[in-house]
Amino acid sequence: MLAETTTENTQVAATLNPSKIMQTGMGFWASKVLLTSVKFELFTLLAAQPLSAREIKQHLSLNCSDRHVYDWLDTLVSMGFLERKGLLETALYSNAEDTDFFLDKKKGSYMGGILEMANNRLYQHWNHLEEGLLTGKQQNESKDNKGNMDFFEELYKDERALQEFMDAMSGIQSGNFMSLVKQFDFNQYPTVLDVGGADGWLSIQVCLNYPDIQCISFDLPPVSPVAQKKIDSFGLTNRIKVVGGDFIKDPFPKADLITMGNILHGLNENLKQQLIQKVYDTLPEGGAFIAIENIIDNERRQNTFGLLMSLNMLIENGDAFDYTLNDFEKWTKAAGFKKVELMPLAGPTSAAIAYK
């Protein structure tokens, strides 16, 4: 019997491959190598000039052995984040083209904000996924508080954490916002209200592409100065109004188009429906609503990032979750919207659009 099982196992092992299991299971090693590099601003350092391992070690004040510096840098080479000429003592390291574009902090295209936040916050909080699944409770800074969205109040007590969160949001959404303003015709909507607009990045993108549109960026009061500063730096002070308020408690300013980037997914189903109703009631006839999120495919098989983001919402908010276009259609139709459509943006993100 034992011999039979062993033969059977050998045959199965010849056709199956465990690499997916191992790659994902040990994925935190690779993840942490990249996140640590971003934290050390390695790619910003190498954007200026190629350096040897010894020079990198000195610049970053590393105290580990030379061997481990080579290991760390060569891991990044093997993963395609760095390029290298020479080997060990003779090696010169430089950024790969995409790393240089997206992870040099001195470039406008920098999108490492989300990775900085992943390293400083999410990495620790995701260690409690088991507890989240067992209890259904949020596992972040406001773990011991009650209530949805309390987490922002907690996070924004720290100015550095507020700025880091803003940078993380605009970093992860940049490509999506740029794609949305290119694909969707904003010209039909003279006034755009971005609810939960963070540092105003979507409003800025809209205004840069549509010279006649006025925007309102609406977010919690502690966010207003950060948004105002960024909007002023783009010379758009007269075109984007910053409004501080609570999207649950306060009325919305009137607008022809209302947008929400990664807002609905942070709420439980009741609050989602309540907010969508408020959007509908605020819009004029012919108005539209756009949610920019990692919309999960209706069959819930393809958009792994969207599904993981939904688990991230368990970590962040407890009862919040990401959703499919079918879900969005159900909620928006219940509020009174006539039709919906999906516009794929960058990577796993789409715009779910509802027309009044």
Ligand X SMILES: C[S@@+](CC[C@H](N)C(=O)[O-])C[C@H]1O[C@@H](n2cnc3c(N)ncnc32)[C@H](O)[C@@H]1O
| CB of 72 vs ligand X, minimal distance in Å | 31
- Residue 332 token pair: 């928006």
Instruction: Please identify, among the stretches 22-30, 193-201, 273-281, 323-331, the one whose residues bind ligand X according to the rule CB under 6 A.
Output: 193-201
| CB of 333 vs ligand X, minimal distance in Å | 24
Within a 13 Å sphere around the CA of 317, how many CA atoms are in the beta-carbon half? 20
Q: Count residues binding ligand X (CB under 6 A).
A: 18
Q: Does 178 bind ligand X (CB under 6 A)?
A: no
Beta carbons of 220 and 252 less than 8 angstroms apart: no
Instruction: State the residue number with the nearest CB to ligand X.
Output: 261
Residue of the chain from 53, 56, 149, 315 that contacts ligand X (CB under 6 A) = 149
Q: Does 223 bind ligand X (CB under 6 A)?
A: yes
Q: Does 291 bind ligand X (CB under 6 A)?
A: no
In total, the chain counts a number of residues equal to: 356
Residue of the chain from 37, 138, 262, 303 that contacts ligand X (CB under 6 A) = 262
Q: DSSP readout, 255-302? A: -SEEEEES-GGGS-HHHHHHHHHHHHHHSPTT-EEEEEE-PBPTTSSS
Q: Which is nearer to ligand X, 56 or 169 (CB)?
A: 169
Instruction: Please identify, among the stretches 24-32, 68-76, 195-203, 324-332, the one whose residues bind ligand X according to the rule CB under 6 A.
Output: 195-203
Residue of the chain from 196, 287, 306, 348 that contacts ligand X (CB under 6 A) = 196
| CB of 152 vs ligand X, minimal distance in Å | 5
Give the contacts of 86 (CB within 8 A, at least 6 positions apart): 92
What whole-number distance in Å separates Cα of residue 131 and Cα of residue 136? 8
What whole-number distance in Å separates Cα of residue 266 and Cα of residue 123? 19
Q: Which is nearer to ligand X, 113 or 287 (CB)?
A: 113
| CB of 223 vs ligand X, minimal distance in Å | 5
Q: Which is nearer to ligand X, 132 or 197 (CB)?
A: 197
Q: Does 88 bind ligand X (CB under 6 A)?
A: no
Q: Does 315 bind ligand X (CB under 6 A)?
A: no
Q: Torsion-angle region of residue 185: left (phi > 0), alpha (psi -120 to 50) or beta?
A: beta
Q: Which is nearer to ligand X, 176 or 324 (CB)?
A: 176
Q: Which is nearer to ligand X, 93 or 323 (CB)?
A: 323
- Subset of residues 8 to 67 that bind ligand X, contact rule: CB under 6 A: none
Q: Does 200 bind ligand X (CB under 6 A)?
A: no
Residue of the chain from 129, 220, 236, 243 that contacts ligand X (CB under 6 A) = 220
* Helical segments of the chain, H only: 2-15, 19-25, 27-39, 42-48, 53-59, 66-78, 97-103, 113-117, 123-126, 129-135, 150-155, 159-183, 201-209, 224-233, 269-282, 304-317, 325-335
Beta carbons of 227 and 217 less than 8 angstroms apart: yes
What is the per-residue binding string for ligand X in 225-254, x denoting contact by CB under 6 A? ---------------------xxx------
Beta carbons of 175 and 124 less than 8 angstroms apart: no
| CB of 340 vs ligand X, minimal distance in Å | 19
In which element (H, E) is residue 193 found? strand 191-195
Which residues make up the interface to ligand X (CB under 6 A)? 149, 152, 169, 173, 196-198, 219-220, 223, 246-248, 261-263, 266, 292
